[in-house]
Structure 1
Amino acid sequence: MPVGGENLVGYVCKYTPVEIIEAFGEKPVRIESGCKSYERAEALLHTNTCSFVKGVLENIIENNIEEVILTSCCDSIKRLYDVLKERLKFIYILDLPRKKDTFAVDVFYKEIIKFIDAYKAFKNKGFAIENFLKILEDKSSFRKMQEPSESIAILGARLKDDVVEKIKNSCSVNIINFTCTGEDRIFNIESEDNLLKGYAASLLNLTPCMRMAEDRSKFFNKDFKGIIYNTIKFCDYYSYEYAEMKSQFNIPFLKIETDYTDSNSGQILTRIAAFFEATDIKKMEQKKAKKGYFAGIDSGSTSTNVVIIDENKNIISYSIIPTGPKALESAFKAFEIALNNAGIKEKDITSIVATGYGRVSIPFADKMVTEITCHGKGAFFIDNRVRTVIDIGGQDSKVIRLDESGNVIDFVMNDKCSAGTGRFLEVMSRTLGISINEMAKVHAEVKENITITSMCTVFAESEVISLIAQNKDQRDIIHALNKSVASKAVSLVDRIGRKGKYMMTGGVAKNQGVVSAIESKLGEKLVIPAEPQIIGALGAALIAFEGTNG
């Protein structure tokens, strides 16, 4: 990745001897794994290869990086080495020990010596030990500041830098990044007789990577205010450690999952923001009490909903319109309709809170709050017996757990797949050639109890087409599709544990077939609000009220 004539040496692992590369007069650069797609990487690697490694390869190709240093972290990295060894000017993989005892230090020291020799031969120049010593002294002059009493730890797989930065900017406590490259590199070289061996020991003494044979839990403060644990799709390493740590640490945990493409950044940030809101980590602005009207705007993928309440928390109007291609235009229109229905003007609104995926696109809102917090707030307001909210919208499904005071204490969301959502039902209604309203009917008399085996919308559509070709009764197919959506929703409920009373919100709550199927699986009746699509907007309006009367 030459920039202005400067040669860059790519690396991915914190155990990489970065300071040695610098001592050679080269500039090491950490290769990011985030990308828009794996188009080029999947031409060289199997589709099911680790998404982190595919993202690294994509960036190496895109940025024309010609020198790369790897460590033998896992089989996927070794596969990356195999792919690159015939394509780059210089590629080297260090054999990384799995422990940090005396024997491991000796092994890693010898690996570093071998690397120096290989790089000397490639560059055809010597290794200046005095440059190396100066670099270590400069880095050793810096020390970590004492950690504040309230901190959030990021653990697991590496998060994209922009996501880490947004986390830091969106909460009121210190963020400590313990992922594989988030730690400061500080070296104690004062008492070391053998400089390179001391350096090898210092690298191994960094907070151990989860692939090291160490009990990592003892390195972390159990007084953290919360832990955000990032996992990589299809990588079991992280799931095992997450489960173990959650059983040991009695503090709030948020598990997120990434494939390192840009497409899931929005969902990840929504989950993080909701985690902060639920654990009271995000600072809430307090204002002097005011009277007037308060609005909530829920900008969703399918519909934009607005609720206006008065100073007594009475709903005085609401509106529901399709979101369409432009979220801001839909928000303006829905807000204007709600104002007209209430017979008031915009100047009469004291405060506006925006929620939903399009909340960042509503500049006239005073505050943005995640739909998870808003649906919990709205559901509890409607019925304070509710402890579990099942929200199935156009783009995603989520299950929210509330405590006795209506606070969100846990939640789960589906991934970026549309399975089990309103979009899934829309696609199937078009395939069947019927309206979405017809899909919503309960068909009590089922001739054949068909099961849709695939949760993927594309594959499920193929199954439906096959069933149509077999001349199956349309009502039986609809029943099977409703059961499929219900199975997905109940699987989310089971991830946080069943606890009634249950309320269902979102547009799919109008589908009596899905509601009936969920009730059958849960063995309990669902509370269905009179207008389930506005619960998120209602919660946003209530937060607008509380923000000015707190």
Structure 2
Amino acid sequence: MIGYTCKYVPTELFEAMGVETKRIDPNVTNYDKAETMMHANLCSYIKGVLEDVMSSNYEGVVLTNCCDSTKRLYDTLRKEFPDKFVYILDLPRKNTEDAVKLYENSIMSMIKHYEEFSGRVFDKDKLKQILQSKNKKKEYKRGRINIGIVGARCNDGIMDVIKKSGAEIGFNISCTGDERIFDIKNYDNLLNEYVKELFAKIPCVRMVDLNKRKEFMTRSKDVVDGIIYHTVKFCDIYSYDYVEIKNKLNIPILKVETDYTKQCEGQIKTRVEAFIESLNVIKSDEKSDCEKKYPDCGRSSMCVGCDADREKNIIESRNRYNAIKSDVEKEKSLGEVKSNMSSDKKIYVLGIDSGSTSTNAVILDGKRKIVASDVVRTGAKSSESARRALENVLRKAGIDKEELSLIVSTGYGRVSIDFADKNVTEISCHGKGAHYLNPDVRTIIDIGGQDSKAIRLNDKGEVIDFVMNDKCAAGTGRFLEMMARTLEIDIKDMGPISLNWKEDIKISSMCSVFAESEVISLIAENKEKPDIIHALNNSIAGKTNALLGRVGRESKFMMSGGVAQNIGVVKALEEKIGEELFIPEEPEIVGAIGAAIYGLESINN
């Protein structure tokens, strides 16, 4: 088997020699082995490729000279695996006749080397058959949410999240995602025509002429409902491309940045699911009366009429729709809740938010009144914390679990709560909860134990945009907990103590580890605790204000999450924003309130 990393690699040539090819999609937890062979600061994707090659049975690897990191990978593979076929193609950056000829020569050289290496013989007739079998273009289906994938190499984990969230992948023009479709007219000069077809694909951003790429992106709003733009950490070229697309296209776009490790999956899952939830809201608002009446019809939004078999078509479409639901049993039980509920039965819905620091539960009645709420510390197992919160809130409400009409979970641990009937991302739930508490709120600042979020809402409390911090503890509740331990004070006392500051100290580093080193140095300089805490508050406020800059500042502002109880951070943020923040009485339960509201809406719809 030959592994490859770039869509310009001529994989069909190896297929014509009876060799299986595989796009290398690293799925690793660390780079321990790779960093013994390569520099630790190299591209994480390239290090992941090296880890994958070391753990897999590849006969060889074919690369293109697309970047310096890939060239370093080539040198390392050649040195460490002298018995494997390792080849790097000289890929031109232009799409001209001369460039095609140069790449054709590079490919012919590769064929010659592989024939000598393997003893196999390249068969042009077999290549012709393969290319003829790959000439059908994909038909885009409207009806469900369609997502376009753009940017750097996007791993299969993100694709799986998209599909499990009930969306389709409309197109994938990331590094390795372009479809292998060929429209060759002249088979007399087969290799040259084949290379022309490789260059005829949507160009990657390293190419000189990007007009075809820009034209495709301009038309993308006719094909997809939103775009997920994936970048690998430190791959600057794709960051520039993302900014241009975001500024020029009037289409929802989500940027996700990964280091290609499994540890990224939790945050990526939340971002992607929340993005798709927001697209469903947009799509629902744009539906015609006909589409709202027949939600499972599956017809195009350009539909102008119905045929005589419409009812039959609706039934067939509904059956197809139900067949692909990710959680059939829970949807079925939800239907039973609706059908069995009598008009005189009291409605109670539980929303439970399983976060990294706290697990929060709220019970609402059928009139959207808060019956009871509870906050418990999230322990070593999120499922056990959730059950503790459930027991506490039921006791406070004075009802039994059987009296609950529905349970909706949210937060990072939502999928681990086995007693929940459905789950929704915390992004959408914070929108619902904030709108419930204050309908005038348009921007939410949520600083929790693990992450920070800035969420922008419309006048209905629906999420229209959001950003989250990267995989870093800086500016979160964990950051403050760490600093409280360093300063030997209770975290609850940090806010009041900081109000007595006198000296305006600056903490330059946003990294939790380096910031702690700065705090230790300040302690050694005999600086006062109020001044140090005030500096930490300003540091958090600066990072949070940067998130607001990315999502857009729209008044009025609400702050939720445990850090909203820290008066020092609140005041530092208000100074940065230039406006007073709305702080709920219990800022930790905003997400749980939103989850409960989603449950009520599910019952009432």
Could you say which TM-score interval applies, normalised by the shorter chain? Answer: over 0.9
**Is residue 82 of structure 1 aligned with residue 137 of structure 2?**
no
Q: In structure 1, what residue type is equivalent to 2:61?
A: V
Aligned-pair CA distance for 1:67: 1.3
Match of 1:219 in 2: 216
User: What pairs with 1:198-237 in structure 2 (closer than 5 Å)?
Assistant: 198-213=193-208, 214-215=210-211, 216-220=213-217, 221-223=220-222, 224-237=224-237
Shift in Å, 1:495: 1.5
Amino acid at match of 2:124: I
* SS of structure 2 residue aligned to 1:254: strand
SS in 2 for 1:527: coil
* Inter-partner Cα distance in structure 1 for 2:134 and 2:400: 60
User: Is residue 2:536 matched to residue 1:481?
Assistant: yes
- Counterpart position of 1:365: 420
CA distance, structure 2, for counterparts of residue 66 and residue 192 of structure 1:
30
1:36 counterpart letter in structure 2: T
Q: How many Å apart are 1:174 and its aligned residue?
A: 4.7
- 1:401 deviates by 0.6
Q: Give the match's secondary structure for 2:373.
A: strand
* Contact 1:148–1:174, Cα closer than 8 Å, also in 2: no
Larger mean CA deviation between 321-330 and 486-495 belongs to 486-495
Q: Which moved more, 1:290-299 or 1:21-30?
A: 21-30
- Higher mean alpha-carbon deviation, 190-199 vs 152-161, is at 190-199
Q: Which amino acid aligns with 2:69?
A: S
User: What is the CA distance between 1:101 and its match in structure 2?
Assistant: 2.8
Q: 1:125 to 1:493 in 2, by over 3 A?
A: closer
**8 Å contact 1:327–1:361 — kept in the other structure?**
yes
- 1:399 and 2:392 are equivalent in the alignment: no
Could you state the TM-score of these two structures normalised by the residue count of structure 1?
A: 0.95
SS of equivalent to 1:85? helix
**3-state DSSP of counterpart to 1:144:** coil
**1:434 partnered with 2:498:** no
Whether the 8 Å contact between 1:168 and 1:175 is mirrored in structure 2 is no
Distance 1:542 1:253, change over 3 A: same
Give the residue type in structure 1 aligned to 2:139: M
The question of 1:112 aligning with 2:167 is answered no
Distance 2:122 2:461 in 1: 64
The residue correspondences of 1:309-348 to structure 2 (distance < 5 A) are: 309-348=364-403
Deviates more, 1:271-280 or 1:532-541: 271-280
Summarize the alignment of residues 215-294 of structure 1 with structure 2, pairs less than 5 Å apart.
215=211, 216-220=213-217, 221-223=220-222, 224-280=224-280, 288=338, 291-294=346-349
Q: Does 1:39 align with 2:38?
A: no
Distance of 1:103 and 1:193 partners within structure 2: 19
| Alignment partner, residue 306 of structure 1 | 361
Provide Cα deviations, 1:264-303, integer angstroms capped at 9, x if missing partner.
1110110111111112169997965855101100000011
The answer to whether the Cα contact below 8 Å between 2:167 and 2:276 also exists between their aligned partners in 1 is no
Per-residue CA distance 1:326-383 (angstroms, 9 max, x = gap) = 1111111101110110000111111111000000001111111111111111011101
Q: Assess, with a 3 A threshold, how the Cα gap between structure 1 residues 310 and 517 changes in structure 2: closer, same or farther.
A: same
Structure in which a larger fraction of residues adopt helix: 2
Structure 2 counterpart of 1:264, one-letter code: C
Q: CA deviation at 1:134?
A: 2.9
Pick from 48, 55, 59: which aligns with 2:48? 55
Structure 1 contact 397–421 (Cα < 8 Å) conserved: yes
Letter in 2 for 1:252: P
Q: CA separation in 1, counterparts of 2:358 and 2:61?
A: 48
1:120 CA displacement = 1.7
Question: 1:392, 1:162 → 2: CA distance?
Answer: 27
Aligned-partner SS, 1:32: coil
What's the Cα RMSD here? Answer: 1.9
Partner of residue 313, structure 2: none
Cα distance, 1:136 vs structure 2:
2.5
Could you report, residue by residue, the CA deviation over 1:231-288 in whole angstroms, capped at 9, with x for unpaired residues? 1111111111111111221011111111101111110110111111112169997965
2: CA distance, partners of 1:48 / 1:231: 16
Secondary structure of the 1:222 match is helix
Contact 2:499 2:530 in 1 (8 A): no
* Deviation of the 1:103 alpha carbon: 2.4
Distance 2:531 2:511 in 1: 19
- CA gap 1:125/1:340 in 2 versus in 1, 3 angstroms: closer
* Corresponding residue SS for 1:295: strand
Q: Is the 8 A contact 1:442 1:512 kept in 2?
A: no
2: CA distance, partners of 1:247 / 1:431 = 43
The 1-side partners of 2:169 and 2:16 are apart by 33
Which amino acid in 2 is paired with 1:484?
A: S
Partners in 2 of 1:536 and 1:442 — Cα distance? 29
Report the equivalent of 2:299: none
The CA distance in 2 between the partners of 1:58 and 1:16, in whole Å, is 21
C-alpha deviation, 1:126, in angstroms: 3.0
Summarize the Cα distance change of 1:73–1:443 in structure 2 as closer, same or farther, 3 Å threshold.
closer
Partner residue of 1:385? 440
SS at match of 2:405: strand
Distance 2:246 2:61 in 1: 36
Q: Which moved more, 1:143-152 or 1:448-457?
A: 143-152
**413, 429, 432: which one pairs with 2:468?**
413
Correspondent of 2:499 among 425, 430, 444: 444
Contact 1:411–1:496 (CA<8 Å) still a contact in 2?
Answer: yes
Please state how far the C-alpha of 1:190 moved relative to its aligned partner: 4.2
| 1:157 pairs with one of 152, 156, 161 | 152
Amino acid at match of 2:276: F
2: distance between equivalents of 1:494 and 1:204?
Answer: 38
Matched, 1:376 2:427: no
Q: Which moved more, 1:290-299 or 1:216-225?
A: 216-225
Aligned position for 2:315: none
User: What code does the residue aligned with 1:374 have?
Assistant: C
In structure 2, what is the equivalent of residue 5 of structure 1? none
Q: CA-to-partner distance for each residue in 1:303-325, whole Å, 9 max, x for gaps?
A: 10000010000001011001100
Deviations 1:467-502 (A, max 9, x none): 111111112111111222222211111222222111
Moved more, 127-136 or 23-32: 127-136
In 1, Cα distance between equivalents of 2:582 and 2:117: 70
Trace 1:143-154 onto structure 2 (pairs within 5 A): 143-148=137-142, 151-154=146-149
1:138 CA drift (Å): 3.2
Distance 2:77 2:65 in 1: 14
Count of equivalent residues = 542
Aligned residues of 2:560 and 2:587 also touching (Cα < 8 A) = yes
Match of 1:30 among 23, 44, 51: 23
- For structure 1, the 5+ residue unaligned runs are 1-7
Shift of 1:131: 2.8
- Structure 2 counterpart of 1:96, from 88, 91, 103: 91
Contact 2:161/2:273 (<8 A) preserved: no
Q: Is the 8 A contact 1:442 1:516 kept in 2?
A: no
TM-score of the aligned structures, taking structure 2 as reference length: 0.86
Percent identity over the alignment is: 52
Bigger shift: residues 53-62 or 383-392: 53-62
User: Residue 498 of structure 2 aligns to a residue in which SS?
Assistant: coil
State the one-letter code of the partner of 1:17.
P
Which residue of the partner structure matches residue 308 of structure 2?
none
Deviations 1:202-243 (A, max 9, x none): 211222222222221212323231111111111111111111
